[in-house]
Amino acid sequence: MRNILTLLISILLILPYGADARKDSDREYWCELAYQMAKPVLENMSKGELQKNMQVEVSPRWDNRNIKVTYMECFGRLMSGISPWLALPDDDSKEGKMRAQLREWALQSYKNAVDPQSPDYLLWREEGQTLVDAAFLAESFIRAYDALWVPLDEVTKQRYIEEFTQLRRVDPPYSNWLLFSSTIESFLAKVGAPYDMYRVNSTIRKMEEWYVGDGWYADGTLFAFDYYTSYVFHPMYLETLQNMIDAGARSRINYKDFFQSELRRAQRFSVILERLISPEGTFPIFGRSATYRMAAMQPLALVAWMDKLPKELTPAQVRCGLTAVLHRMFDTQDNYNEGGFLSLGFCGKQPGISDPYTNNGSLYMTSMCFMPLGLPASHPFWSGQDESWTQKKAWNGEDFPKDQAFKERAKTF
């Protein structure tokens, strides 16, 4: 009995400090998750041993494409998600040391990925799927240009430019795949390499045609109720436009004007995503590619990292909502296989929800939620006092903002 009383008193004594302790632990928790996810991939690939050691899983309905697409999917998607974090300056903290180690491994992995003599030279020239994950690799350079692109040696940079350029051989399906082409071509524009403006501008025109309102895009001519507006549309459309601005490109399209319009849509969609987080830290599963896990929250994470959250959302409530989902997904469920690589499923091992194109390299899309780690620890996203997110307020009887549809129309030409 005395031990129980002592424990209760101890808990009561620390309660006033709970909020401050949580502010620190949220970031530490995110860092630990990101490091756990990235270490097996980057440590192996930096040694040229990813294809040798990765424990690969494929969908029970696998479509029999070349299994080597797995490695590019794994590397490209992981780097796209953690690159903002790796762009922070070095320091002597535990986090800083993890970050520096991952960056060192990543830079060597980038070299191996395009070195034909490396055992981890990726599958650049055989499958159409390569277009998809080359775009995620380009996205990783976009999100951490000075930290991950600039330090590469000239041979490696030229190899990437060559590999990106030869992907024009792939005729993208009439869907979100157009954005994979535009992301690559606009990145080539950003680095001063020859690029195909037609692929970029045609994609922009299609994005405007496929915008259906209130922050949502149709994936082609028909609307599908899934998370591809999160997985691809908002991030890659924003980044395509930003690349063209950075490149100083001039055409019939006013890239700055289109960027501001698309940013407003992404902000509206971020409001919707935040409202999908339940009081318990879950969000609804619908549509294909559910195995991408936290990538469903990518626009919310991206806009937070850009420091462009809409007025309806505070950085702290977004942090708390996303942290609740991360705890719900990763604390009690086994999301990794025996080799330490992500396993097929959404919240645990659930291979039956995989699509025919899904391998466990595909699953590293979930790293997209880690983009706010690219904000310094002093930023209000991390330093702000804990706040309830919208659904938690609503279901606890607290005041919460009334929702309002976003009615801006698509751009015309």
The reported pLDDT for the residue numbered 16 is: 36
The reported pLDDT for the residue numbered 409 is: 78
Asked if residue 371 lies in contact with residue 304, where contact means CB atoms within 8 angstroms, the answer is yes
pLDDT band, residue 24 (cuts 50/70/90): low
Mind listing the pLDDT tens digit for each residue in 200-240? 999 999 999 999 999 999 999 999 999 999 999 999 999 99
pLDDT for residue 8 is more than 60: no
pLDDT for residue 347 is more than 50: yes
The reported pLDDT for the residue numbered 22 is: 46
Provide the phi-psi class of 73: left if phi over 0, else alpha when psi is between -120 and 50, else beta: alpha
Average pLDDT over residues 62-78: 97
Tokens of 373: 């780690």
pLDDT for residue 6 is more than 70: no
Asked if residue 162 lies in contact with residue 155, where contact means CB atoms within 8 angstroms, the answer is no
The reported pLDDT for the residue numbered 413 is: 67
Query: In CATH, what class is 22-395?
Result: mainly alpha
Domain boundaries, the chain: 22-395
Mind listing the pLDDT tens digit for each residue in 87-124? 999 999 999 999 999 999 999 999 999 999 999 999 99
Handedness of CA 304, 131, 82, 325 (dihedral sign): positive
pLDDT band, residue 406 (cuts 50/70/90): confident
Question: How far, in Å, CA of 271 to CA of 182, rounded?
Answer: 26
* DSSP assignment of 80-100: HHHHHHHTSPP-SSHHHHHHH
Q: How many CB atoms lie within 10 A of CB 364?
A: 28
Mind listing the pLDDT tens digit for each residue in 320-346? 999 999 999 999 889 999 999 999 999
